[in-house]
Amino acid sequence: MSLTISALLPLALHISFTFALDNGLAITPQMGWNTWNHFGCDISEDIIMGAAKAIISNNLTRFGYEYVVMDDCWQAPARDPGTGAPVADPTKFPNGVKALSDEIHAMGLKFGIYSDAGTYTCGGRFGSLGYEEIDAQTYASWGVDYLKYDNCYNEGLAGTPKISHDRYANMSRALNATGRPILYSMCNWGEDGPWNFATTISNSWRISGDIHDDFDRFDERCPCTTILDCKLPGFHCAMSRIIDFAAPVGQKAGPGHWNDLDMLEVGNGGMSFDEYVTHFSMWSLLKSPLILGNDVTNMTNETLTIITNKALIDVNQDSAGSPANRLWKRAIAVGGDLQLWAGSLANNQFVIALLNTSPNGQTVDVEFSDVFVDQGPAYQQGTYTVYDLWQKDSTGQWGKNVGTFTGAIRRVQIG
């Protein structure tokens, strides 16, 4: 499904800039775990600490997973009536957020929190609109390292890039003003084109409605066919649809400012092993943040195999920070389509993916004239060593050497 090409040609010069929020974070896409996809609103100190311990015990930190993010529903019914500061639910978090954060830090992990650029959060707790400064200060005092910032109940403050930008920039400034580096993960579902306006105010921005743990089923609750001017991002967006959404906006991401394709569903049960492989591969190639969304205290070997594929994670964390591009998408008669993606990595390496959403296996030629459309004739006529990132080679390393090729890679088996 995914190949890295080690090119034998001289290095090409690459330019890469970093203009994200000036906090030095997310130079590569952030990695971690978030409560929402598996636990929804039913969270507590115990659940979060359980996950943190499982991250450690499963050695996930070795692969880069470091942020433990507490999503919606951590809040008490109301802010502190005196100060207006945010307050956590005392039942779910009897020791407070600071204690939880300290524990997580003590384990060598980082701690993330959630709020919403509106009157209420999506789960109906108090939102941060109009409370940006006190909330940012409180988060900093709690040792928060990461903020996921949602878009519900925004009082109509959307509809032009300027309105959306200004609402989200308020929190960006407030976070910076704390002096604590806090990764700022915008979640406005792609409204008004954050890939255009958010690169300098955030470390990542969601591009669509919420992911659903499904391979490619169309759901009317995720109604838009493109995200470029979507008036209802919705939710229940199948994994493959988010890949479609991401195709045109990859060009806007880079070190410190990423397109967020939403949290991973790997291990949540709605897709087959092969489908989760596709999911994890494409999130990696598209340089999406890799935020696990499953129950890490209870994982199958299959799940663990996928989320710890070092070769794919290396692609995601590659220093060039360049999302793969879709070279073509071809409809298949029996339904679904076939897609060729390719991306540049550092050290003159490249990654290729063939994505097949049809029900059958497909055999196809990958032409180097397509793969290297940006690099030109010299690359298109080159000779390459090809690895398969889903098989280990004889030395036990990810990436099995499957041969040396010139020109097209003929008869690639996809499935």
Burial class (CB in 10 A: 0-12, 13-18, 19+), 133: middle
Residue closer to a second copy by CB (options 193, 321) is 193
Of the listed 210, 213, 295, 318, which one is catalytic? 210
**214 labelled catalytic:** no
Exposure string of 18-33, with b = 16+ CB inside 10 Å and e = fewer, is eebbebebbebbbbbb
Residue type, 116: D
Residues 114 and 139: beta-carbon distance below 8 Å: no
Of the listed 150, 244, 295, 388, which one is catalytic? 150
In angstroms, the CA 280 to CA 271 distance is 12
Residue closer to a second copy by CB (options 96, 234) is 234
Residue closer to a second copy by CB (options 54, 157) is 157
Least distance to a second copy from the beta carbon of 57, Å?
28
Least distance to a second copy from the beta carbon of 391, Å?
29
Closest CA to 158 of 259, 235, 231: 231
Residue closer to a second copy by CB (options 110, 206) is 206
- Tell me the HSE value of 330 on the side-chain side, using a 13 A CA sphere: 13
Least distance to a second copy from the beta carbon of 334, Å?
18
Q: What residues line the site for a second copy (CB under 8 A)?
A: 13, 15, 17-19, 40-42, 119-120, 123-124, 153-166, 169, 192-193, 195-197, 199-200, 214, 217, 219-221, 223-224, 226, 228-229, 231-232, 234-236, 247-251, 269-270, 325-326, 373-374, 376-377
**210 labelled catalytic:** yes
Whole-Å CA distances, 27 to 16, 67, 207, 321: 11, 14, 19, 8
Least distance to a second copy from the beta carbon of 113, Å?
20
Residue closer to a second copy by CB (options 45, 214) is 214
Residue closer to a second copy by CB (options 374, 393) is 374
Residue 339 neighbours by CB under 8 Å, 6+ apart: 243, 326, 328, 329, 330, 353, 354, 355, 356, 357
Least distance to a second copy from the beta carbon of 356, Å?
18
Least distance to a second copy from the beta carbon of 387, Å?
26
Catalytic residue set: 150, 210
